[in-house]
Amino acid sequence: MDPLVPSDPTTKEYKEWRVSDLDGSSLTEIHMVLSTVVLSYWCWKCKTAAEFHRNPAKFSGRSWQHFVFECTVFLVPMFMALTDHYLYTALAVLIGTGIYYRKQIPNAPHRADKWAPDPRADSFKQSYAPGKITPKSYLSIYRAEMMLLTCFCILAVDFNVFPLKFAKVETFGTSIMDLGVGSFVFSAGVVGAKSVLPKRVDGKIITLSLWHRLKAGLRTSLPVLVLGVARFVLTESVDYQKHATEYGTHWNFFFTLGLLPICVPLGLSVYDDLRVTSMVLLVVYQALSSLTPLGNWLEHADRTNIVSANREGIFSFVGYLAMFLLGMSLGQEVLPDAPTFKARRMRLVSVLGVWTTALISFFLFSFVLGIEPSRRFANAPYCFWVAGFNAAMLWVFMLIEEDVDSKLPPQLARAGRPAGYEVPVILEAINVNSLTTFLVANLLTGAINIQVETLLCSTVQSMLLLGGYTLMFMLPALLLYRTGIRLR
């Protein structure tokens, strides 16, 4: 063995060495693994719609049977895919199950005049009000799935059952955890678009001033920044392992998340087109990194002062801010209620346009200009890859919802759907208390790593611990949801 390589897997040095200099995995493998997320939702949606169609009066999506099915269809495939066990088996089972339930959904009654207005159009016109934002099931599922994936990975990476090709790469490359970090920021931007949309107050449409937006941003940021300080103090006090090239010596992801809501109102005060602002930020940042000595300094500089010691966190913030703004621009498209049924369907085209634009930009930077994606510095190719993937995921979720719901008779498709039909309980609970879930997952990850030598666990022990951990970080969100409490 190389004498410079730590030999004891219980030491901090070994754990830091283990996740250093990783190259990641291919885009094809990453997207194949994460396709289980989409297929899980498709299976659940088809089964739920088939049951609801058979007996709408007695349908209940809040039974123990439904809860067990949700855990099975959303958690088991994720375990199998992310631990590199039976990925193709999981995909085959999900596809077969989805087809089985999809065939159980009868087609809606045939309309004699196919050019006649859709019967559901009237309900959209009657319920529409300018400035009104009602929950969108595809957004809830998309955001909760990304959170579930992120929380699972932050502990799983500390076990040998989790392939290191899925862990964060050192500098350039792609991996599932790299995509998870970016998706967390992008999805936060999508729902964060509420803060910049016109609001309906007492029947009037109002737009908040810069001062009100700054105050709201500070209220949102303060708790997250406090968590960042607390995490730094705790990790230093227990000598917890850390990878300096991830965010820097003192910086952590909570600082990045906490600064975003403060910077967004300031950026909007300069120019109010989020998409243009984000593109300019990325192009300028990438030009400075590629055409000036900044890129070499970012990659190789010694950590001699507070800036150089935390250069990953400080400079990657530019990319994450641009990514957050891209998410907000997409949120402006999909969050407000559609005025007509046709307008709702046209959103599929809008989201597809974002996906196509991001994909073309990614290929331009990566394959034409030869710039590899870097999560470490959140460069332009990385941000466009994350934006394209998330737009694609959202588009597929919307497409599944549109396809399945279009099979229901008009009287079932309009209104009166019971709780548990639109969104699975476990995902709805995570969605309404996402930051709480993320915080609990981080606390549990630290506690387990302190109490358990994760690298010495067998495969069975690892899977049992990861299963228990997943249920534990979901439990507070489920309890809060059941009692009607929404923290964040």
Pull the structure tokens for residue 126.
Answer: 């009657």
Give me the pLDDT at residue 174, please.
94
Is residue 393 within 8 Å of 351, Cβ to Cβ? Answer: no
Helices (H), 157-252: 176-192, 210-237, 244-247
Give me the pLDDT at residue 3, please.
52
Taking 80 as the threshold, does the pLDDT of residue 349 lie above it? yes
Handedness of CA 242, 244, 250, 253 (dihedral sign): negative
Determine the average pLDDT of the residues in 268-295. 90
Q: Give the confidence band of 487 by pLDDT, cuts at 50, 70, 90.
A: confident
Phi-psi bin for 484: left (phi > 0), alpha (psi -120 to 50), beta? left
Query: Minimum mean pLDDT among 3-12, 52-61, 185-194, 379-388: which range?
Result: 3-12
User: What is the DSSP code (8-state) at residue 367?
Assistant: I
- How many angstroms separate the CA atoms of 256 and 378, rounded? 12
Is residue 386 within 8 Å of 409, Cβ to Cβ? Answer: no
Q: How many residues does the chain have?
A: 488
Give the contacts of 58 (CB within 8 A, at least 6 positions apart).
Answer: none
Which residue type occupies 466? L
Measured torsion, CA atoms of residues 187, 191, 196, 199, in degrees rounded to the nearest 10 = 170
Helix (H, G, I), strand (E, B) or coil at 138: helix
Which tens digit of pLDDT belongs to each residue from 435-477?
A: 899 999 999 998 999 899 999 999 999 999 999 999 999 999 9
The number of beta carbons lying within 10 Å of the beta carbon of residue 93 is 18
Determine the average pLDDT of the residues in 344-358. 83
Pull the structure tokens for residue 482.
Answer: 């059941």
pLDDT cut 70: percent of the chain above it: 89
Which tens digit of pLDDT belongs to each residue from 369-402?
A: 899 999 999 999 999 999 999 999 999 998 998 8
- How many angstroms separate the CA atoms of 342 and 330, rounded? 19
Nearest Cα neighbor of 428 from 70, 38, 39 is 70
Which tens digit of pLDDT belongs to each residue from 54-92?
A: 877 777 777 888 889 999 999 999 989 998 778 899 999
Pull the structure tokens for residue 378.
Answer: 């959140």
Query: Minimum mean pLDDT among 264-268, 307-311, 443-447: which range?
Result: 264-268
User: What is the DSSP code (8-state) at residue 198?
Assistant: -
123 sits in which H/E element: helix 121-127
Determine the average pLDDT of the residues in 259-288. 88
Helix (H, G, I), strand (E, B) or coil at 215: helix
Helix (H, G, I), strand (E, B) or coil at 85: coil
Query: Minimum mean pLDDT among 137-141, 202-206, 447-451: which range?
Result: 202-206
Which residue, chain included where needed, has tokens 């709702």? 344
Mean pLDDT (the chain) is 86
Nearest Cα neighbor of 470 from 450, 431, 440, 433 is 440
Taking 70 as the threshold, does the pLDDT of residue 154 lie above it? yes
